[in-house]
Each structure stands twice: as structure tokens, then as C-alpha cells.
Structure 1
């Protein structure tokens, strides 16, 4: 399907956005309350079960591509490496039987639909798998071949937006092909959104009309935020990165309504954990109560989005997710009764073998424990761990990742709180 509407944003608009953002940053710094001081205590480690997805040629990672359906089944997208099949697979996991079912792979579906281009690759399902009210599961595939890390060249094969009915034997349905790689998907009500890179292009799919529209949010160079979120009103919140003539970087959380009208841009002062093209932007997200959302940056800063009755939402800086300061927390889960947020903390985006489990209350208290690999207190090798929001019918959390070039799924049961 071709893109039926694109809302263009020109370079002058980005320059103005940078100027306005700088003024807003100064105002926000003067007006916003200081983030809470995070008080640390010793936590109890969670129970962690380790599952391995079925092997296929080239399978090596799950980059946070998780989701849960209304039955409590878990869905994951497994990436193939460059030397493998170059086709990501979608798996369904039944927690009651601890079994995986292969629900298809990207290239096979493109060939079935007779829309695969000669030589096309789609090595990743990087997005979350989102079940919408219409009963479909929505997700995106992408490929990195041919792209330039500095953002000067898009990937050769771009991305695809998909959906599938959650019934046995269902085929995938193709919704759109994009020149950008589609790295993240979120949605609410009848609106499904996907984030494409480079330059953070936000796509919107209307499930009622099947209309696809887009707007360019903007991201300097080769910066790619790994995540974004959509609140219950269908408003999308996406990262924007600007770069001044002196090379100074600035990051903002930009709010769009369902008409793709920009409502506001709030500065994010603790956003970059590394350089422009290497920082991961928004890495974990979770809904809170009363329409609020929580999100964390690759630097480990925790923020809260507070919706407004009219006008743009407010963003509250909650300080570091981990009480020791900057950590890479690309997972986020929430206990609805206590309001506590949970995350798996890595020393950096490069991973590690000694991970920590953080139970973080928004007002600042945090309990930290070892995050085990099954019965072992540390991982057998350096690992990367991702995933937000996904839980089964029994309330267990699911994180995913890669270790020694093999994917894994972690079923997490937090320890009871006194």
C-alpha cells in the first residue's frame, strides 16, 4: 500500500524548533521542581525462568520485540543475522505449556503475497507486537542493509507494517511498505503508529479506514530512538533530536494528536548516554494510572508524562531509574497496586554479565537486587536485555535479549513485598 498522505516538515522548521526548544529548556529548568532523591535499599531477587526460542538459520537476538494477547499468550519477534535467512520470525509462546509456535517469517509472507522485491531482506522484527481492539496483532519488520550509520543513507529495503488475526492458521496482512526502517510500533483505540528511521518519521494507520499518514518528527544525523509510546487518547509521544551549528545536541519529547498535529515539545535533559548516532533514545515505556506514562532514556533517566485536559502534556523528571545513577534500563514493568516500576539494569547499552533488578517507586525509593539467570546469580556471558509492558495472565513479566549470539526469553516473577 502506498502512503496516502505525508505531512512535510522543512529544515527551517527544525531550526525554529531548536530555537524554541532551547528557550523552553531554559524556562523548564527554572520552573520544574527538582527530581526526587533516589533512596536505595536491598531488594530480594526475582524468580527468573529462561526459555530458548526454536532455532532457525541465523536466529540470534530478540531486540525487545514482545507483546501479549488477551489470552495471556506471549509474542516475540526473532531477528536473523546477516549470514542467515535474513528473515525475522514471529513466535507465539503459551505460558501454560511452555511451548513456542512459529507463526511465520517476513520473507515467506512477502513471497506468498507476491510483493517481495528481488534480493529483499527483512532481518528484524524490532517493534513491539500490539494487540488492538479490533482483534488484530500489529507489528513491523525492517532491514538495515545499505544504510549509513550517520543517517545520510536509508536502508535499501526499508520496512513493512503488518497485522495478523489472532487465530490458528492466520496469515499476515500487509498494510504498508516504507522507505524507512520501522523500528517501533505502539497504538491505542483505532490508531496504530510506527516509528521509522532515519529522521524519525511517524506513521499512523487508521484501523477503521486503512488510511496511512505520516509526519516527520526529526532526528539529527543517524540518531534512532528505540521506542515511543501512545496514550489512551491516541496521542503519540516521540523523541526529536536537534543539532546546532556548534554541534550541540538537544532532545525533546514531542506530542502529536490523532490529526498528526504537533501539540508540544518538552526538553529531555538526560537523554544521550553516548554520541548522537550511538545513543538509544527512549528505551523503555509503561502506562501508569490516570492516563500517565513512564519512560526511560538510554542514559537511565526516568520521566513521567502527565496528560493535560487541554493543551500539551507535562513531563516530570523523576531522576535516575537506578539509585546509583546512570544505567541502561531497557525494560520496564509496573505493579498496579503499589505503583512500583521494575527494570533490569545493565551497566551500559553494550550489556554485561552482572545485571541488577530495580524496584523503583516514582517518589524516589528504590530496592536493588541481583538479577539472576535462572538459578545462577550472574549470566554465563555478556548479555543484552530488553522489553517493556509484556506480562502473562498470571502477572509474570517477560524480558528478552541475546547472549553468545543466541536469543532468549526471560519469565520474571518479582519477590513478594512485605
Structure 2
């Protein structure tokens, strides 16, 4: 074999234009073999955008490295659907979700929803859910439709009546934040995350929605307000407000007791309960009408009720549901109806929407990413991809 032949053998020998640019990308033999197992070979590879082929390889590598996937999905896969969900569209916070719907040889379907973290202080998001016999009953398409709906959470929840505790446990990541979050909240919180802090001398916590750029929305004595991160974390007696805390005046006239600092907790939906646009709209309505002013109630209209209604579409408070009996409820009905209570629109509403969008953008600009913005933008599917591996292949 000549030196020239050796050089040819050791060179990656497949290339395409990358998204119409002059940049070339070469698949090595391992990558081509992986794609072939999924049903893509040299005969049909040209039918797929290069960005999507690269994203399939990224998803396959992630799947093999995550025990939560390999330990659950043990049978060979006969059908694969890849797509970037609608709720990822136009998100300015570099949060790229990818979805894979798999059907195994037993005709069980699996939904994998994954968001890699591009920031060291923020965890990845992952949900792996089994749907028995969905392949046999031809329900996989219905599952995909639910993921693409206004309320993606409905895709991974049961069709039966469930409790708030079940919802939160399965689909909301709760973690205590390090002390550095006080100075650098955008390194530990994504825009529209829920955050809570202790209330001094009490077992209750105060809840807010983090907007980004050191801004929050929460209930104060004057209703629902946009305020600074410092005002949330280090409240004063004036920011606490007598009307907001009228319930506690039964026990004490010293409103400063409702201040207090301590470990902050992040309450992050692993899969969106509502699209980002809908959350922003509901927050804007709540601030516009000073929602909760004069109507605060520990059992039915407290700070946690507000944030859950805006971000999750559920008018419930986990803090009080266990203390004051609440019947179980239909998540489907509540998602469609509760946020409709905030039905108001005027120039202030439009201004608040613009303000929230600006906070989200500014948060992205100040965050320290582990990948370049250009690389992050490419890590998503351009089109919906449906494959039928032949023979069926395992995730291993």
C-alpha cells in the first residue's frame, strides 16, 4: 500500500456542507456505523440535514451515558422519532430541549425529554417515561401531539385523577442553592424558575418567580409586584406589607418577623407545564392588576398559589394542602382554567411583557456558558425525523 493510500484510509471520508456554509464536516467510521444502526446509510443520508444527523449522534451518545435511560430501556428499538419540541422555539435562554419517542420490540413506547445544561451551576433536565403497548395501540402519535401542545406536561402524566404531590415529585426538580446565588442568581436559576426562601421563625416559605437579570415577581403588601432580587432575598417590614400578611397579624403585630434570610431553594419544572409565552402573559396580567391585593389568604391565595398558577397552571399550595384538606383534582381542567382568572390587557400589560422579555435576554447575556452561543444554537433538530432500524437496535 502506498503512502498516499494510507493517508486516504486514515482520513474521514464523508463530508457535506454545514447548513449551506462552506464549512465542511466529516463523519468517521464509528459515527457512520451508529447512524446505520438507526436506519441511516450512504443511500439515504443525503435526505437529512447535517445539523440533524449531528444532533442524532449527540442524543445517542447522551443516551448511552445516562443510567436513567440504559437501565430502563433494555429491549431493542424498532422505531425512533426525533424532534425539537415547540416549547423550545424562540427561547432566548439557551435551553435546547430534544425529544425522542422510541417503540421497542414489545410495542412499549418511551418518551425521552432532555435539556442539556450549558451552565455549570444548573443541572440537566431529563424525563424518561414508559407507555405500555402504545406501539401496539398506535398511540405514539397522540403522545407526540401532547408534547407539542400548549401544556407539554400532559404528555407525561396519567389520564387519571392525581394529586399535586404526585405532579411535583415527578416533574419538578427541587434543590437547595449555594450561598453564591445571592450575588450571581443567573448562574443557578433559569428565567421563570420558582424560588423560595425561609420566613423567619416560621415553617412556611415565601415564593417568587425569578425573571432573570436579578428581578423577581411575587406577592407583596400591594399585590403582585416586579421587584429586585435583593428585595426578595432581604425583605423589610415595609416590603412585607400589612395587607399581604394580615393572616399572621393574629399571632404578632411585628411584621418584620416575616422577613428573614436563609438557604434559597429552586423549584424548576423539568418539562414545561405551560409554554414560555403563556407564562410571561400570565405573570404580566398578574402584575398589571396587582393580583392578590387585599385578598391574601393562607389557605387559598398565598404566594405559592400565585407562582404555581403562573408557572405551572395549578392553583395549589403544597405548603397548605397537607395542613388544610384539599380534594384531589384534575390537572387537565386546572391547566385550562386557573390562569384564565388573570384575564386583563392594557398598555401596562404590554410594558410588563416587554420588561420580562428583557430580563430573560439580559440573564442570558450575563451567564457564563460552557459552550459558545453558536454551538448551542446548532444543538437542536431542524426537522422531525422518523426512523425504523432494521434490524431493531439496543441503546448500549
Q: TM-score, normalised by structure 2?
A: 0.25
More helix by share: 2
| Normalised TM-score (structure 1) | 0.24
